[in-house]
Amino acid sequence: MTRIDFQTEPSRYRHWKLRFDGAVAELVMDVDPAGGLVAGYELKLNSYDLGVDIELADAVQRLRFEHPEVRAVVLRSGKENVFCAGANIRMLAQSSHGHKVNFCKFTNETRMGIEDSAENSGQRYLAAVSGSCAGGGYEIAMTAGHIMLVDDRRSTVSLPETPLLAVLPGTGGLTRLTDKRRVRRDRADVFCSMEEGMRGKRAIEWRLVDEIVPPSAWEAKVRARALALAGMSDRPEGARGIALTPLARAFREDGVDYAHVRVDFDRAVGRAVVTVMGPQGLPADLAGIHAAGAAFWPLAMARELDDAILHLRLNEPELGLLVLRSVGDVGAVLAADGLLETYASDWLVREIRHNLKRVFKRVDLTSRSLIALIEPGSCFAGCLAELAFAADRAVMFSGSAGGDNRVAVMALSALNFGALPMSNGLTRLGTRFLGEPESVGAARARVGDVLDAEAADGLGLITVAYDAVDWDQEVRLLLEERASFSPDALTAMEANLRFAGPETMETRIFGRLTAWQNWVFQRPNAVGADGALKRYGSGIQARFDKQRV
């Protein structure tokens, strides 16, 4: 299997173009039909596959870190008469089920990143839609806070998956339609049953778009609207961005090595050990953070962890159990968190904090069992403690091992209490203690304290503690038991248990994606020999099993 690489940069883009004009940037979708991630399909009509979205995710990230001067981003097409035809049908038809679901998950995480940019970074997105905007193309447009549609009698928006393909716009399309754009459910039902889509005044009345513009005024109106959105931003004037330099990685047969993250595979037992190394040195002040740029530990570590998680998702599907470890000094991690808290109002520090948030959300949303091992020499403190709280179980070593006077410890920082929320809008501790909110207060009172196993257990921060006599045997039994369960059952169980508490648009999107895409993408009506995805474009009508299940 060809390894999918999630690292790229603008000079390597085949599908997107970035243009800059002061406070406004244009992110232009101009997909190379011959640039598919694998052979077997053409990316016609600005349709996309995972490779197109990898570039989009990179562009969104670079706009945040490398271009603080950009306050508004215009999403538009570089092709005549088409904005985007959505996910490539041939790609979907030939892809494995696992690839389809991971593709849908990544595309939505990317779209959430666009929405997070607008909400938290002051980079507001405008979708300038000209031509056909269908399916996933309209889902991309809906990530923008404002959608403009040229009123030329040809340009339309549509979600035609149900009538055309026997699947559904489940990568956020249905949820954004009702929850974000507030389209009436009966009108949404009509809209999602139409192949031809909607345009003009009706699209405005139904809240499918925000503005329609005649062709004669199109460019001037797009520019004026973008400048108006830029005027609402709090991005700094005169700031200099930092370069997101390439990650230093070494792939080996049994793992991947980064500067601050190491991943070791054990394919015989279906397990990967992900070890995060704490900081070795930190800047003294804000000037030092800016000088360090992408090498500043919280940013460097998070970028590496993000790449490692994506690599495991797409390239190592049979490694169903991730063991989370850390190595380093607890005090150094707390010092890094202290810098992020002290200089929280700075634009770059703000971006680093939000990047940490998004990476930890990616961990939460990864369909693998997560077991954290907190051992002597670990540094699960502050932001790294979030990995232990993200785990399905956290096991801590109690006491010291023979010949080693070190004990396993944890520590909390201010970042654990609001800066790094989950998709449900709660902190991981708030989610953990949903039924005992007083425990959050008890934990907050111990911020900065070094906690041994007894203290961590008393605060409810771990699942269980074992001493030197029991550690090896109990951990072995835990990991072997987990590996013996059905992967399907574990995915469903973990996805249900990780997101307690209130529903948000984000949790609804990912929950529905997990449930409905896992189901619909396996049904013969979609992917069978006579299914709609297989017969699309052939001129032969799909044959459906009419039973409702």
- Closest C-alpha to 511, from 345, 316, 365, 298: 365
Three-state secondary structure readout of 190-219? HHCCCCCCECHHHHHHCCCCCEEECHHHHH
- Closest C-alpha to 125, from 27, 52, 200: 27
22 and 72 in contact (C-beta within 8 Å)? Answer: no
Residue owning tokens 């404002």 = 146
Q: What SS3 class is residue 374? A: strand
38 and 2 in contact (C-beta within 8 Å)? Answer: yes
505 and 179 in contact (C-beta within 8 Å)? Answer: yes
Please list the rounded mean pLDDT of every run of 10 residues in the chain (549 residues).
92 98 97 95 96 98 98 97 93 88 92 96 97 96 97 94 79 89 96 94 97 97 98 93 97 97 97 98 97 98 98 96 98 98 98 98 96 97 98 96 86 98 97 96 98 98 96 97 92 90 90 76 82 82 81
127 and 141 in contact (C-beta within 8 Å)? Answer: yes
Report d(CA 252, CA 265) in Å as an integer.
Answer: 10
Report d(CA 132, CA 55) in Å as an integer.
Answer: 22
Q: What SS3 class is residue 411? A: strand
- Name the pTM for this structure: 0.95
Report d(CA 129, CA 140) in Å as an integer.
Answer: 11
CA 186 to chain centre: 31
439 and 433 in contact (C-beta within 8 Å)? Answer: yes
Report d(CA 40, CA 275) in Å as an integer.
Answer: 37
- DSSP conformation letters of 15-47: SEEEEEETTEEEEEE---TT--SSSS---GGGE
The full set of domains in the chain, from first to last, is 10-230 (3.90.226.10), 250-488 (3.90.226.10)
Report d(CA 274, CA 276) in Å as an integer.
Answer: 7
Helix or strand (DSSP H, E) at 256: strand 255-257
Confidence (pLDDT) at 283: 97
Confidence (pLDDT) at 521: 76
Residue 294 carries which side chain, given as an amino acid letter? A
Report d(CA 122, CA 149) in Å as an integer.
Answer: 23
The tokens of 8 are what? 């790229």
Confidence (pLDDT) at 504: 93
Confidence (pLDDT) at 29: 98
Report d(CA 36, CA 50) in Å as an integer.
Answer: 9
Confidence (pLDDT) at 546: 83
The tokens of 419 are what? 């800066």
Listed in sequence order, the residues at least 6 apart from 359 whose beta carbon sits closer than 8 Å to its beta carbon are 302, 303, 305, 306, 309
